[in-house]
Amino acid sequence: MAEQSNINRALPVLVGGALVLGFLYWAKVIVIPVALAILFTFLLTPPSQYIERRGVSRAISSVLMTLLALALAIGAGVAVTRQVSSLLDAYPRYEPNVTAKIEQLRSRGRTGLLDKLQSVTQRISTQLDRHSAAPVTQAEREAARAQPVRIVEQGPMRMSQLWSIVAPLLEPLAGLGLVLVLVIFMLIHREDLRDRLISLIGVDQLADTTRALEDAGERVSRYLLMQLAVNSGFGLCIAIGLWVIGVPYALLWGFFAAVLRYIPYLGSSLSAFLPVALSLLISREWTTALLVVALFGGLELVTNMLVEPMVYGRGMGVSQAALLIAVAFWTWLWGPVGLVLASPLTVCLVVLGRYVPFLKFLDTLLGDTPPLAPAHRFYQRLLAQDDTEAADLLDDYAALDGLERAYDEIVVPTLAHAREDLRQGRLDAADHERIVDEAHALVDAHRRLIRPDALVGADLTRVLAIPVRDAVDEVAVSMLGKLVDMGRIEWTAHTSAVLASDVIELVRAARVDALVLVSVPPGGLANVRYLAKKLGAEFEGLPILVVRPGLLAGAQVRQRRELAELGVSRLAPTLTTAAAELRGLASLR
C-alpha cells in the first residue's frame, strides 16, 4: 500500500517534468528568444539604471543600451570573421613548418606505435584496393570514365532560388528581432513585469515571492556582470600574452578564450587548442607551443585561485558538479544558446527550490549547501563503519567551533538518533552497540580541556558522575568529563552497571561535593526521577545536577518543574551548559 502511495505521488511529478521538457524542446523557437531576452535584461539593467540616474529617460536609456550591446556583438562578429579569413589565407605559408615537424617525428625512429599503425593501415588499404572489382568490358570501362554533365540555364534568378537563399536566414533574423524588442520592453517595464509576476503567484505568498525575486535578480545580475568582467579580462590577458610570444591573430584567440571560458572547467583547455596548434605551424621549434601552454595554464590557475574567489564572493549558490551537468543538459536541449543560458537558468532553479516547498528537491540537487547536517553525516559514517571519516569530521568541527559544540551538535544527536532507531526497530541491537562503542572510542581519543582561568593549586571540587541507564549515557559522561576544568574539579565517573541500590553507598564512600546524573533523551526521565528522589532524601543539601543533553526546548520547562518537586533545581539541556554549571559550583567553594 505504501509503495502504491509513493507511485501515485511520483507519477504527477514525472508527467509534469516530461511535459515541461517537451515544451522546452518543441517550443524552443519562442522559448529561446524569451530566455535570451531575460538574460540580457539582467545584464543590461545595472548600466541602464546608472544612465537613468544621470537624468536620461528610461525609454532612451533602454534603447541606447540595447543598441550598444547589439553594436558590440556585430563588431566582434565582423572582427572575428576577418581574422578567420585572414588565417585561412595565410595557411600555405606555414606548410613547410608542418612538414619539418612531421619529419622530426619520423626521424626519431620507425618503431613507434604511430608508425606501426600507419604501416598496418597502408597494407589494409592496398589489400582492399587490389581485391576491389574493376570494369572488365569496354562498355563498363567507358561508363566508369563517363562524367556527369549538368546543364545550367542562364537567366534571371527565380523566386524559388531567392527563397532558398533567404529562407534559412529568416528564423535567426526573426529571433534576433524578437530578442531586441523583448529586451527593450523588459527594460522599460521591468517593475510592471515584476508586479504582474507577484500577482500571478498570489498576494498571500508576497514575502516569499519578494525574497525569491530579489535573491534571483541579485545572484543572476551579479554573476553575469562579474563573469563578463572576468572572462573579458582573461581573454585580454591571453591576447596580450600571445602577442608578446609572437603568435599571429592574438586578438582572435583572446576573443575565443573569453567566449569559451563560459564553459565551466573545460572552456580554457578548449580555447588553448587552436593557439597551440597555430604555434606549431608558425615555428619549426617547440618552444613557442610550450610558452602558449604555460600562458593558458598559468592564467587559468591565477584566475581560479585568486581572481574568481575575490570577485564572485559567495558565488551563485550552485554546486559545481550540478553546474557541469546543467551545462551538458541545456546544451543538449538548446545547442550553443543553452551553453550560454545554463548558469543563470540553474541559478533560477535553485532559487525556486529554496522558496517553493514542493520544489525543495531542486535546491537539494543543485544547490551548494551541504545536503546533510554534520550530525547526520557523522551518524551515516558510523553506520557505514567508516571510523576514519567520522573521526576526521568530528575533529574538523571541533577545530573550527570548539569541542563543546562538536559534542553537543554532532555526537549527542547521533546517540539520540541511534537510540530512537533502536526503539523503532530500524537498527538492531548489535549495530546499536557497535555505533555506541565507536562513538565512545572517538570521545576517549580527545584530551580534556585545560582552561586559562583554571585555579591551579586550589581546592578541587569532588564531583561524581553517574550514567543513569546504559552505554549511551556512559558516552555522555565521558564527553562531559572532557569539558570540565581539570584545575577546579576532581572528576569521578562510574559505569551504568551500578545498581540504583548501590549508588547511595558509592556517594557516601566518595564523599563528593556534587553529584551529576546523566541521561540522553529520548526516555530516561523516570530513571532520573527515581535516583534523584533517593539521593535527595539521603543526602539533603548535596548539589545534584541533572544533565539531559539534546533535550528539546518544549520539554525543558516540564522536566524542570518535575525535578523541582524532588528538590533538584539544576537541569542542563546541553553538555556546554552542564560544564558551565559545574564551573559555577566550583567557584562557590
**Class of 461-587 per CATH?**
alpha beta
pLDDT given at position 280: 75
Q: pTM surpassing 0.85?
A: no
Bridge pairing between strands 461-467 and 570-572 = unpaired
Query: Burial level of 212, CB count in 10 A (0-12/13-18/19+)?
Result: buried
Q: In what helix (H) or strand (E) does residue 429 lie, and over which residues does it extend?
A: helix 429-444
Residues in the chain: 589
Domain ranges of the chain: 28-98+173-188, 211-366, 374-444, 461-587
**Residue entry with cell 542542563:** 572
351 or 330: which carries more pLDDT confidence? 330
pLDDT given at position 455: 46
Q: In whole numbers, what is the pLDDT of the chain averaged over residues?
A: 77
Task: Report which of 439, 436, 366, 451 is spatially closest to residue 406, judged by C-alpha positions.
Answer: 439
- The string of pLDDT tens digits covering residues 248-282 is 878 888 888 888 887 766 777 778 887 887 787 77
Spatial separation of the C-alpha atoms in residues 113 and 102, rounded to whole Å? 15
| Side chain identity at residue 119, one-letter code | S
Cell matching residue 208: 516569499
- The string of pLDDT tens digits covering residues 468-509 is 888 888 888 888 888 887 777 888 887 777 666 677 777 777
Task: Report which of 31, 76, 29, 69 is spatially closest to residue 48, judged by C-alpha positions.
Answer: 69
- The string of pLDDT tens digits covering residues 117-156 is 666 667 667 666 655 545 555 555 555 555 555 555 555 5
Cβ atoms 483, 406 nearer than 8 A: no
Spatial separation of the C-alpha atoms in residues 242 and 457, rounded to whole Å? 72
- The string of pLDDT tens digits covering residues 381-406 is 888 888 888 888 888 888 888 888 88
Beta-carbon contacts of 342 under 8 Å, excluding residues fewer than 6 positions away, are 323, 326, 327, 329, 330, 331
Cβ atoms 449, 483 nearer than 8 A: yes
Beta partners for residue 215, in sequence order: none
Q: What is the dihedral of CA 360, 365, 370, 372, to 10 degrees?
A: 70
Spatial separation of the C-alpha atoms in residues 128 and 138, rounded to whole Å? 24
Spatial separation of the C-alpha atoms in residues 531 and 476, rounded to whole Å? 18
Cβ atoms 219, 349 nearer than 8 A: no
**Residue entry with cell 543538449:** 332
Least confident of 38-42, 283-287, 301-305: 283-287
**Residue entry with cell 533574423:** 173
311 or 539: which carries more pLDDT confidence? 539
What is the CATH number assigned to the segment(s) 374-444?
Answer: 1.10.1240
- Is pLDDT of 462 > 70? yes
